[in-house]
Amino acid sequence: MPPLQTTVTVNATIRSPAPSSITVVTNEALQQIPGIEMDDRLRQVPGFSLFRRSSSVVANPTTQGVSLRATGSSGASRTLVLWDGLPLNDPFGGWVYWDRLDPGYISDVEIDRGATTSVFGDRALGGTISILSPPPANQNLYADFLTGNKVTEDLAAAYSNMWGLWGLSVHSRDLTTNGYYIVPASIRGTVDTRANLQFATGDVFVDYLGVPDRLSIHFDILAEYRNNGTQVTHNSTGLGTVGANYTHTWTNDQVTLAGFHTQEQFHSTFSSVAPNRDSEIETSRQTVPIQDTGGALYWQHHAQHWETLAGADADDTRGISYDYSYITHQATRSGGTLLSHGEFAQGNLVVGRAQFFAGIRQEYTGQHGETFVSPNGGVAVGLRDFRLRASAYRSYRAPTLNELYRNFRVGNVLTVANPYLVPEELVGVEAGMDWTRENTRVSLTLFHDDLNNLIDNATLATTPNQILRKRENFPSALSQGIEASVSQHWGHWMAQAGYMFADARLASGARIPLVPKQQGTAQLTYSRKNTMVSAGVRAFGLEFDDDLNQYLLPGYATVEFAVQQRITNRLSALGSIDNLLNRTYLVALTPNPNIGAPLLWRVGIRWSGAVR
């Protein structure tokens, strides 16, 4: 389960420095990248991947786990995702509901690869993604409406105001789309329908921005409904989260107390499709009520040449999967409780041009109450325009209640749960350099990660009508490679490119499923006064959809385009196109092929600024 340090460690007031490769995507940069959802836009960062290549616009939420740096894509994330310090990873399954985030109403996204800090625990096996909302402003109004092909309508609005030291922000978003067929036309049958999405969100922030006291209260809700691509299969989710964060600051010290509570209800249906895809049988339905509660306490101390951060946290997750089989006409109940609590300390010391980092975390987590110790250490040295860095770390991830107890079916692939799973472990080292000038930035990182007890879907049997898999701990795996990024400004132009090479293999020699060996992105943006035009390309190498490397998903590349024209100081027209060349590419083999998004376009208007 996500340990409670995940609720607050990357709050606006708590940041733990680390000798790692960090990418910051600003609000301005997000608007230059096309995409309906946040995950669509973050794919511009090499190494960012969901369980499958498909967008969260049509993907089943249980496949929306996120991973960084080729640690292996999984429905359960191997990366921690925070929204203003609150964990977005689903407490039952570890995946992320990306539609809780409005890409147009985000201040910054910070992507920290590698477990280079002991502040984070369970979910941060391969890194952390921190997403920050814009701060409240006086009588500020944000609203946009976009429409596009596939009968897509996207409406969002937000209002914030300040009364002295108190601030209020209210935001809501509603999206509907008919979606698209996820099965190629060549094999499409009468059971196939468009995979689509409808959702509504609402969030409220109340802030007291005093000195020395600060208080932040967060509340958000989500209601979504999805058709999963056939007449029978669909799922829906309703959830709500309330959280609070109080901080008191002295001259050199700061204490933070935080807590949150989430309630969720997830429903899903599954079917078996005939080989000719002209008939299907509903096989089962699931209902999963979930509760997650946690709290944390932190202390920070700042001195002239050193800093330290220490704290403790706890998290209690309760989830039960109620399943009814239409084949056996039997109802089953599975699930339980996962309790996590831990203590950690992290510090850094400046000696001349060098900065040394060290930390340690002890955590009690997992189904059987395992205790894990996660040390880390590193150094960063500044030499004029260069920053040299190196670090070593150990991290872990406990299996989720979903992996332990919930069976699921995708197409004719049945995957069964495993209550005997043990936590994953990662031992990694990395070294890199950053070169920064006024208009240029170059970053290069070499990494080597040893993975033990990696949780993945092991193939047990294959027949013409069904593939049977089971969640298993693979004894060991290795992911090693290189990451590189470069950006260059000149005049009104900006060029950016990123690349990752990763050789990620199981102990058997087979490639880790759903990890391409090579991926890269490039983007060129023109911005002057009231006009912004951006075009980019994303390329992904081949990958395999299974542990035996029998189902190959070829590589592909897509072209993206975005434009924004300011009409007045507050009103803008905008448009975007995803997959400009309408490239058809595979995202899954179940064993029938599933395809990714076709050409998708959207146009609309946006108001952003003070009411007066």
For residue 4, give the 3-state DSSP assignment: coil
CATH number for the domain spanning 170: value is 2.40.170.20
Split at pLDDT 50, 70, 90, the class of 520 is: very high
pLDDT value of residue 604 = 97
Split at pLDDT 50, 70, 90, the class of 54 is: confident
Q: Decide if 174 contacts 199 (C-beta within 8 A).
A: yes
Q: What is the mean pLDDT of residues 143-162?
A: 97
DSSP 496-527: EEEEEEEEEEETTSPBPTT--SEEEEEEEEEE
Q: Is residue 78 part of a domain?
A: no
Higher-scoring residue by pLDDT: 589, 72: 589
Q: What angle do CA 98, 101, 106 make, to 5 degrees?
A: 135
Within 13 Å, how many C-alpha atoms sit on residue 597's CB side?
29
Residues near 194 by beta carbon (within 8 Å), at least 6 away in sequence: 150, 178, 179, 180, 181, 227, 229
Q: What is the mean pLDDT of residues 481-494?
A: 95
Number of domains in the chain: 1
Q: Is residue 199 part of a domain?
A: yes
pLDDT value of residue 446 = 96
* Residue numbers of the domain that contains 419: 137-610
pLDDT value of residue 407 = 85
Q: Which of the 8 DSSP states describes residue 399?
A: P
Report the mean per-residue pLDDT for the chain.
Answer: 91
Tokens of 324: 């009814």
Distance between CA atoms of residues 362 and 343, nearest Å: 6
For residue 492, give the 3-state DSSP assignment: coil
pLDDT value of residue 267 = 96
Tokens of 388: 């040299």
Higher-scoring residue by pLDDT: 120, 263: 263
Q: Is the dihedral of CA 449, 113, 260, 262 positive or negative?
A: negative
Distance between CA atoms of residues 139 and 598, nearest Å: 40
Q: Is residue 588 part of a domain?
A: yes
Distance between CA atoms of residues 209 and 384, nearest Å: 37
17 pLDDT above the threshold of 70? no
Q: Decide if 414 contacts 449 (C-beta within 8 A).
A: no
Q: Is residue 455 part of a domain?
A: yes
Distance between CA atoms of residues 123 and 3, nearest Å: 8
Q: Which of the 8 DSSP states describes residue 478?
A: E
Q: Is residue 2 part of a domain?
A: no
Split at pLDDT 50, 70, 90, the class of 306 is: very high
14 pLDDT above the threshold of 60? no
Cis omega (within 30 of 0) for bond into 419: no
Split at pLDDT 50, 70, 90, the class of 8 is: very low
Q: Decide if 428 contacts 450 (C-beta within 8 A).
A: yes
> Which contiguous run of DSSP H or E holds residue 31?
helix 27-31
Q: Is residue 323 part of a domain?
A: yes
Q: What percent of the chain has pLDDT over 90?
A: 77
Split at pLDDT 50, 70, 90, the class of 143 is: very high
Compute and round to an integer the Cα radius of gyration of the chain. 23
pLDDT, tens digit, 9 for 90 and up, residues 189-240: 999 999 999 999 999 999 999 989 999 999 999 999 999 999 999 999 999 9
Q: Is residue 119 part of a domain?
A: no
Q: Decide if 545 contacts 514 (C-beta within 8 A).
A: yes
Distance between CA atoms of residues 519 and 337, nearest Å: 39
Q: Is residue 37 part of a domain?
A: no
